[in-house]
Amino acid sequence: MEANPAALPPSAASTRAGIRLPGLGVGIGRGYVVMYLSLMVLIPLAALVDESLTSGLGNFWDQVTSPQAVRSLELTMICSLIVVAINAVFGTIIAWILVRDEFPGKAAVNAIIDLPFALPTIVASLTLLALYGNESPFGIDIAFTRAAVVVALLFVTLPFVVRAVQPLLIEMDREMEEAAASLGASGFTVFRRIIFPNLIPGLAAGVALAFARALGEFGSVLIFAGGLPDTQVSSVFIRAQVESGNEPGASAVSMVLLLASLLCLATISLTQRWASRHERSTGGTLVMPMAGEMPADGEREEGDDERA
């Protein structure tokens, strides 16, 4: 247990030999991968970019700045910010009790965290409406309001922060905490000065992913919040435009969402590079159980612990 995982050299050997496609195979394999990605992802997105700019930048700008489009983008942005702020706090608390607390049923709680990843969004929307609509058993009726947008987004983005922070808490070296506590630091001071700074890389990645997900969310908002002028998030707006045949409008707003997604991904990538440069753990592969992470040169630290 005394081994410091960060001090171990990266398993560089894993890239040196082992299973390799034979000479010609590499070329074929790369060709296949590039073709597949182009056909499935890049060409469709290129068609979207093309359509949004087809009648000129001026028209693109007009579409993006139309009152309805602006309204939906503002609503989406504000709700997503509120949602990630709430998730950052509660996600950290949940990760904390899952790692540092002991209570009966902890394993089940840990398992249910991933429910929003597994449950279809439209089902989530339906059940949230039953729960917090006009037939609410709790007497809470927020259906078709902006609060409904926030609750729906909270549901779908819940796992991101928890799953990003959890591995960092598991790996965290507790000696610093003990030292601080023995020097008389209060619990809150220890959290603020020692624990929190170590959680920042995971928290940032989790928040960025949750934000990206919230910006584009569609299914869970649809039934619960509806597409009223007041509750029309961007993705619902886009579908309405497609249905009414306004493809330039739909693709212009889509372009804004696409750019926002790219920004989120760039943020995650930068955070991780920063973290690895400062030898801060990003929690290995668990940072984003569902999502993108540069295949870091580093290794899974849990594995190293066992080897040490």
Partner 1 sequence: MSAHSAAARGIGSGRGSRWTLRALGLGFLALLLVAPLVMIFYKSFEDGLMPPLEAITSENGLNALKLSLLMVAIAVPLNTVFGVVCAILLVRHKWKGNALIDAVINLPFALSPVVIGLALYLLYSTNGGWFGPALAEVGIEVLFSVPGMVLASIFVSLPFVVRETVPVLQEIGTEQEQAASTLGANTWQTFWRVTLPAIRWGVAYGVVLTTARVLGEFGAVTIVSGSISGQTETLPLFVSKQFEAFNEPGAYGASIVLALLALSTLLAMNLLKRKEDA
Map the footprint of partner 1 across residues 74-103, applying CB under 8 A.
90, 93-94, 96-97, 100-101, 103
Query: What Cα–Cα distance (Å) separates residue 266 from each residue in 103, 143, 294?
Result: 38, 35, 11
For residues 244 and 247, give the distance between their C-alpha atoms in angstroms, rounded to a whole number: 8
List, in order, residues 6 or more apart from 295 with CB less than 8 Å away: none
Query: What Cα–Cα distance (Å) separates residue 113 from each residue in 109, 118, 166, 288?
Result: 7, 10, 12, 14
**71 contributes a contact to partner 1 by CB under 8 A:** no
Min dist CB 265 to partner 1, Å, is 5
Token representation of residue 28: 């074929």
Question: Cα 213 from chain centroid?
Answer: 6
Token representation of residue 301: 């630290």
By beta-carbon proximity to partner 1, the closer residue of 101 and 278 is 101
**57 contributes a contact to partner 1 by CB under 8 A:** no
Min dist CB 11 to partner 1, Å, is 6
**Binders in 129-168 for partner 1, by CB under 8 A:** 130-131, 151, 154-155, 158
**251 contributes a contact to partner 1 by CB under 8 A:** yes
**Binders in 19-38 for partner 1, by CB under 8 A:** 19-22, 25-26, 29-30, 32-34, 36-37
Annotate each residue in 285-304 with x if it binds partner 1 (CB under 8 A) or - if it does not, as one string: x--x-xxxxxx---xx-xx-
**257 contributes a contact to partner 1 by CB under 8 A:** yes
**259 contributes a contact to partner 1 by CB under 8 A:** no
**113 contributes a contact to partner 1 by CB under 8 A:** yes
Interface pick for partner 1 out of 7, 24, 40, 57 (rule CB under 8 A): 40
Largest CA distance in the chain: 68
Q: Helix, strand, or coil here: 164? A: helix
Interface pick for partner 1 out of 69, 88, 128, 161 (rule CB under 8 A): 128
Contacts with partner 1 by CB under 8 A: the residue count is 113
Query: What Cα–Cα distance (Å) separates residue 179 from each residue in 184, 185, 186, 251?
Result: 9, 9, 12, 56
